[in-house]
Amino acid sequence: MNNNSNAISDPSMMSSDDIRHGFSVAMSEMYQNEVPLYGDLIELVTEVNDDVLNTQPDIKAQLAHTGEIDRLNLERHGAIRLGNAAELSMMRRLFAVMGMYPVGYYDLAPAGVPVHSTAFRAIDAESLNNSPFRVFTSLLRLDLIADESLKQAAIETLANRQIFTDAVVKLIEHFENIGGLIEVEAQEFITEALKTFRWYDKTPVSKALYERLLKQHPLIADVVGFKGPHINHLTPRTLDIDTVQQGMQARGIPPKAIIEGPPKRQCPILLRQTSFKALQEPVSFRVANYTQDNAKNNANTHTEEQYEKGQHTARFGEIEQRGVALTAKGRALYDTLLNKARDQLGATPNESNAAEYYRILEQIFAEFPDDYEELHSAGLAYFYYQPVDEAEMVEISDSDLTAPEAKNVLINLIEKGIIRIEPIVYEDFLPVSAAGIFQSNLQQDKQSRYDGSSNQQEFERDLGANVYNELELYESMQADSLKKCLSSLQNMA
């Protein structure tokens, strides 16, 4: 797998980072046209971010040190839902053209959402800064449907659809053979790939089948009932999610009840998310089902397919605030505290108990250190190590840095102001939050859960590849930065 998307030797080839960037811009334009409220949300987020950068110099300096400042306005993720293994594995190959690889495994079944998921994204620090675009990609778990005849109908419907154009498949194969695309090919790739993600309001299924699917689970209707995996939301990154949440209401953008994830903190951790509620959109359900051949063979046949009107609720907009990535130890603490807060609330957080939920959350998370140096020394979060430009140089010998004292040597250098730590931003997702986002947009209040056990191996088999472990990626980003930092200090001394 070509992980280093910048290392393309042939200069006529476009870098995967540039293709991803072009695709992400085109996708955002398309979605603003399809869902104008998303455009309003972007305006609001841009205003709030500019305000934070102008009034909080520490945050601005930190984003400048990590290189994130340049990507802030480009930043977004999207989400799609796929129907079967063939779709998932071709999607993996499509994303690989753009330097996006599957990272992490999320099992949503315990939270009552019949999917399991991964996130396609760039994996090295430089590529992420060039374009952080990610796509949360879910695969429907039809094995969790108990109704056998409905399951069969769903499987057949999915087998009959082709979500990729012939042209994009050819370009993917060409990319795999040659190792890159030249600019015109890349442009065509973007245009053709986008067709997979656009909205088609004419359904390939009848209203009756759609309604049976809907009753089983709204998510199943959203996947099986449509021609393709329409992008269901895009999500810009904000530096102040609480302000955006309040601002949404004022602008007539209806927000979901609560912000998912950790509470508001001085040093943000992981990911906080909220969304505006999904729109009710008009769709046309197929009535007659004349094939092309029928139409040709019988001149009297009415060649126009017939449709009846209906509606569907699926597409929305989301915002996220990202914080530092947590180590396994930090993540375990996060999960424990989040569960404690939810147990104490004793219900799914919603409109009626939102204030109470935030109060409990803040009180329980008081236990989570809220200071970068403390998070670092306690081994709870990942950081970049950077030499401080104006610092007085010291001599560090390699033996100082051999375990187990190395961490103390480092902490000492940080205290002396010789090395600076900067948070490594969390690039991934959170299963409990994701379930909350799904649920708030599915018009389904009942909290169900599926007991079918989580199966990463099955997911990877359907994907046709293993997913990357996100913790290993952060670990190696941190280790790389330490190596660079120390060698530059040693050179200066």
Which spans of this chain sit near Ni ion (rule: CB under 5 A)? 79, 235, 318
- Does residue 39 sit in helix, strand or coil? helix
Q: C-alpha distances in angstroms, 414 versus 116, 377, 451? A: 41, 10, 48
CA 392, CA 67: separation in Å to the nearest integer? 24
Q: Cα separation of 243 and 49, whole Å?
A: 10
136 binds ligand OOG (CB under 6 A): yes
Site string for ligand OOG, 290-329 (x = CB under 6 A): ----------------------------x-----------
Pairwise CA distance, residues 317 & 440, whole Å: 12
**Measured CA distances, 451 to 7, 82, 109, 433 (Å):** 45, 21, 7, 19
DSSP string computed for 182-216: EHHHHHHHHHHHHHHHS---B-SS-HHHHHHHHHH
CB of 466 to ligand OOG, least distance (A): 21
Query: Which residue lies nearer to ligand OOG by CB, 337 or 434?
Result: 434
Q: State the nearest-atom distance from the C-beta of 119 to ligand OOG, in Å.
A: 9
Decide whether 78 or 180 has the Cβ nearer to ligand OOG.
78
Q: At what angle do helices 166-178 and 183-197 cross, to 10 degrees?
A: 140
* Closest of 372, 350, 361 to residue 258, by C-alpha: 350
Q: Tell me the closest approach of the beta carbon of residue 77 to Ni ion, in angstroms.
A: 6
Among 429, 450, 459, 468, binds ligand OOG (CB under 6 A): 429
Q: Which two tokens stand for residue 437?
A: 């986002």
Residue number with CB closer to Ni ion (316 or 459): 316
Binding track, positions 263-282, relative to ligand OOG; x by CB under 6 A: ----------x---------
| CB closest to ligand OOG, residue no | 434
Among 5, 66, 131, 232, binds ligand OOG (CB under 6 A): 232
CA angle 7, 9, 15 (to 5 degrees): 55
CB of 242 to ligand OOG, least distance (A): 18
Which region among 33-41, 49-57, 411-419, 429-437 touches ligand OOG (by CB under 6 A)?
Answer: 429-437
Nearer to ligand OOG, 382 or 429 (CB): 429
Binding site for ligand OOG (CB under 6 A): 79, 81, 136, 138, 232, 273, 318, 429, 433-434, 437-438
